[in-house]
Chain A
Amino acid sequence: MKLVHVLGHNPNWNTEIYFDQNVGGEFLITAFSFGNKYLESKRVTQVIDKSMLDLQFYGQKESGRLSKGNLSDFEFHTANIPFDSNPTNVEINKCIIKAIEYQLSAGFNKIIIPLYYEDTYMDGIISTIKTVNSYLKENRINEREYYMTIPLAYDIIRNNDDVERLLFELTDLNICFDGYFIACENKPEQGHKISNDIKLITNLSRVLCVLKIQGFKTIYAYANWDALFYLAQTDIDYITIGTYENLRNFSIKRFTEDVSGGASDGYYFSEQLLNMIRAKDLVNIRANDMIGLIRNKRNIFSDTILEENYKWSIHKPDVNKNYLLSISRLLDQLSEIASLKQRIIQALFLIEKALQNYKKLDDNYVHLQSESKNYHLGVWKMHLLKKIGMKPQEFETLYSAYY
């Protein structure tokens, strides 16, 4: 498993932590943020030889109406399709082929083949994938790796029949992609940062597991810290890590509507709770003398932002670097465990420890709300136990023996 920094707004935080703390190994340039001027960014040029480019066709012509974003920079981009026209699949396929040619000529070694987002018309997606695959069979260049983008719409990833059909097509004998670039729409509930929808997490686990078993490389793109849960179940070749929310949570809205990130003091990612804690909740935790419980160890960024008078803001580098460093360590630790069963058990240990830490907070009168509370660990735990066929009681005995 390799970690890939998503480069968007403030890419310097990613490159700094890469060079200074050795976090991550590769980079994903987002077309939305940089357009075709990515080489004008000093930060990007520093790492261009380790980079791939997501041209982000997700919103198709809808992206052309955005006041922000630079997708239209690329002449061939679907964002440039006139809004009052109805492009045929043939036209869109031509854009996709040009996107491949562009990446080849720009010298990228990993070619991310863009695909539009579709939440109902599976036949359209499948037809496009087959067309691109046929093109690639005739035109692929050795020594380059080709990854087909699979934007998993919320309604598709939650539908077992759609997932089965998609996996059937993606694993066909005739497929010649080296791998898949998976972007999954999570739509977490209000007050949550990641999804705890059992249908979604079960099916996304399945997609990542089946593609890997069938010999494809996988890139889990725009991943949040839920990547821990998925990595526990299968080897994922590349997992992206990002700073701002929009780089860690794939949402079609970003490509079809002008959405603002909104003001936020930011969040503290705690390895001890496996969750993002709202900055304002830290006051409550501190007041009950429990900061030590949630503190990330050996993390200079964490040390800085947990200082009592720290002025919190989501736009501060230390806040974001705390997450990047923490999540990278957790993911690296898991990926080092070769046996998948052992890896799941290790993940279960982390989850159990986090559950117990939540209990300790409760016992010490710390009341956490919204994103800060535990809404996901129980679902993760049960899913992982089921995966290895272990009863909760059996796991508790095992956990007690270790701790």
Chain B
Amino acid sequence: MRTTRLTEEFCKYFKIGKIVEAKPRSGQKQVYIVEIGKEIFALKVIPGADERIARELQIYDRFKDNPGIPKVISVEKYGDELVVIEEFIKGKDLSKIADTYINDSYKVRRLIADISEILTPIWIQKCIHRDLKPNNIIVQEDGKPIVLDFGIARDLDDETITPTGFQPFTWNFGSPEQYFFKKELISYRTDFFCLGIIGYYLYTGDLPFGMNRFSIAEAFTGPQKIFDMHNEVMNGFLNSVLKFSVAERPRTIDQFNKLLCL
């Protein structure tokens, strides 16, 4: 039973009164903003969900008290699909407001620090996001971020590469160890790297290692790129967290935060 478009039967089962918005498909996953009763929720439909997804959802559940992560209301199997209903977060998708951060070092660093604060308890418990990118971050009215898709997106996104034009898909926001499938090197420092890319992207409106898979591959296999942003603090941050070698990135969360100089 496939629900690329939500069927009447599906809506009835989940008591969906109204489909407010269908988000662009991301990998195999489809997200809808729906009204159930008088409340708005985010509803994710994940086809072919396996044990691993279930385990990741358990991890997600462990951090349900983290105010920087949307709460999972329910997880249910529907046919061969997994349906996750999450708290709906009011705010703006960071990818849509990215240009408001350009050349504003403080604003960029503040946002990265807020994301780091959300992720700190997660990192400490040896969990990682693995898919940090602007459209996984919602910025609320007060400027505080909410991190979406914790863990779930890891294996479902990223396979599609758009050959023409730019869009911030995961390849562009991934680390060398993800890019080269070195699973044994993936850790909290992978998230550090991804936050470095986000920082660079917000500050410059551009991507640090190129706009397509090939230029990124070339960059990651070449010598370490040194960044000069004409801003000492940004230079210090980017040149530390965007190290291709995982071992050379900041070792502790405290070191990562200190680089933001806030």
Binding site for B on A (CB under 8 A): 164-165, 167-168, 170-174, 210, 213-215
B187, B245, B248, B253: the one contacting A172 at CB < 8 Å is B187
- Known A-B contacts A164-B245, A167-B245, A168-B246; the reply to A214 vs B185 at CB < 8 A is no
Within 8 A of A (CB), among B29-80: none
Max chain B CB contacts within 10 Å: which of A164, A167, A215?
A164
Cβ B253 vs Cβ A210 within 8 A: no
Interchain CA distance A211-B149 in the complex, whole Å:
34
Interchain CA distance A171-B185 in the complex, whole Å:
12
Which residues of the other chain, B, contact A168 by a CB distance below 8 angstroms? 184-185, 187, 246-247
Interchain CA distance A214-B251 in the complex, whole Å:
6
Is B201 interfacial (CB-CB < 8 Å)? no
Interchain CA distance A311-B53 in the complex, whole Å:
76
- Known A-B contacts A210-B245, A210-B248, A213-B248; the reply to A165 vs B185 at CB < 8 A is yes
Cβ A173 vs Cβ B185 within 8 A: no
B185, B187, B252, B253: the one contacting A164 at CB < 8 Å is B185
Interchain CA distance A171-B188 in the complex, whole Å:
12
Cβ A171 vs Cβ B253 within 8 A: no
Within 8 A of A (CB), among B114-139: 123, 126
Max chain A CB contacts within 10 Å: which of B126, B185, B246, B251?
B251
- Known A-B contacts A164-B185, A165-B184; the reply to A170 vs B252 at CB < 8 A is no
Q: In the complex, which residue of chain A has the Cβ closest to the Cβ of B188?
A: A173
Which residues of the other chain, A, contact B123 by a CB distance below 8 angstroms? 173
> Could you show 8 A-B contacts with beta carbons less than 8 Å apart?
A164-B247, A167-B245, A168-B187, A173-B188, A174-B126, A210-B245, A214-B251, A215-B251
Cβ B247 vs Cβ A173 within 8 A: no
Contacts beyond the supplied A214-B247, A214-B251: 5 A-B pairs with Cβ under 8 Å = A165-B184, A165-B185, A168-B187, A168-B247, A173-B253
Q: In the complex, which residue of chain B has the Cβ closest to the Cβ of A172?
A: B187
- Chain A nearest CB, measured from B213 CB (Å): 22
- Chain B nearest CB, measured from A70 CB (Å): 37
Which residues of the other chain, B, contact A210 by a CB distance below 8 angstroms? 245, 247-248
Cβ A173 vs Cβ B251 within 8 A: yes
Q: In the complex, which residue of chain B has the Cβ closest to the Cβ of A215?
A: B251
Cβ A171 vs Cβ B187 within 8 A: no
* Chain B at the A interface: SS class: helix
Cβ A167 vs Cβ B247 within 8 A: yes
Cβ B247 vs Cβ A170 within 8 A: yes
Binding site for A on B (CB under 8 A): 123, 126, 184-185, 187-188, 245-248, 251-253
Interchain CA distance A168-B188 in the complex, whole Å:
11
- Chain B nearest CB, measured from A322 CB (Å): 39
Which residues of the other chain, A, contact B188 by a CB distance below 8 angstroms? 173
Interchain CA distance A177-B87 in the complex, whole Å:
42
Interchain CA distance A167-B188 in the complex, whole Å:
15
- Chain A nearest CB, measured from B187 CB (Å): 7
Interchain CA distance A172-B123 in the complex, whole Å:
12
Interchain CA distance A170-B188 in the complex, whole Å:
14
- Chain B nearest CB, measured from A320 CB (Å): 37
- Chain A nearest CB, measured from B153 CB (Å): 23
Interchain CA distance A210-B240 in the complex, whole Å:
12
Q: In the complex, which residue of chain B has the Cβ closest to the Cβ of A122?
A: B184
- Chain B nearest CB, measured from A394 CB (Å): 19
Interchain CA distance A259-B181 in the complex, whole Å:
44
Which residues of the other chain, A, contact B246 by a CB distance below 8 angstroms? 164, 168
Interchain CA distance A85-B185 in the complex, whole Å:
34
B126, B184, B251: the one contacting A171 at CB < 8 Å is B251
Interchain CA distance A170-B184 in the complex, whole Å:
13
Which residues of the other chain, B, contact A165 by a CB distance below 8 angstroms? 184-185
- Chain B nearest CB, measured from A150 CB (Å): 13
Interchain CA distance A273-B236 in the complex, whole Å:
40
Interchain CA distance A130-B188 in the complex, whole Å:
17
- Chain B nearest CB, measured from A30 CB (Å): 30
Interchain CA distance A215-B251 in the complex, whole Å:
9
Which residues of the other chain, B, contact A172 by a CB distance below 8 angstroms? 187, 251
Which residues of the other chain, B, contact A170 by a CB distance below 8 angstroms? 247
- Chain A nearest CB, measured from B100 CB (Å): 33
Interchain CA distance A164-B251 in the complex, whole Å:
14
Which residues of the other chain, B, contact A173 by a CB distance below 8 angstroms? 123, 188, 251-253
Interchain CA distance A173-B253 in the complex, whole Å:
8
Interchain CA distance A173-B190 in the complex, whole Å:
13
Q: In the complex, which residue of chain A has the Cβ closest to the Cβ of B126?
A: A174
Max chain A CB contacts within 10 Å: which of B123, B126, B246?
B246
Which residues of the other chain, B, contact A214 by a CB distance below 8 angstroms? 247, 251
- Chain B nearest CB, measured from A37 CB (Å): 40
- Chain A nearest CB, measured from B225 CB (Å): 14
Which residues of the other chain, A, contact B184 by a CB distance below 8 angstroms? 165, 168
Q: In the complex, which residue of chain A has the Cβ closest to the Cβ of B226?
A: A389
Interchain CA distance A167-B123 in the complex, whole Å:
19
Interchain CA distance A214-B248 in the complex, whole Å:
7
Q: In the complex, which residue of chain B has the Cβ closest to the Cβ of A173?
A: B252
- Chain A nearest CB, measured from B1 CB (Å): 43
Which residues of the other chain, A, contact B247 by a CB distance below 8 angstroms? 164, 167-168, 170-171, 210, 214
Interchain CA distance A214-B243 in the complex, whole Å:
13
Interchain CA distance A170-B187 in the complex, whole Å:
13
Max chain A CB contacts within 10 Å: which of B247, B252, B253?
B247
Interchain CA distance A168-B184 in the complex, whole Å:
9
Interchain CA distance A174-B245 in the complex, whole Å:
18
Interchain CA distance A164-B246 in the complex, whole Å:
8
| Interface pairs A-B: 7 shortest CB-CB | A167-B247, A214-B251, A171-B247, A168-B247, A168-B246, A171-B251, A210-B247
- Chain B nearest CB, measured from A91 CB (Å): 26
Which residues of the other chain, B, contact A215 by a CB distance below 8 angstroms? 251
Which residues of the other chain, A, contact B253 by a CB distance below 8 angstroms? 173
Interchain CA distance A213-B126 in the complex, whole Å:
23
Q: In the complex, which residue of chain A has the Cβ closest to the Cβ of B253?
A: A173
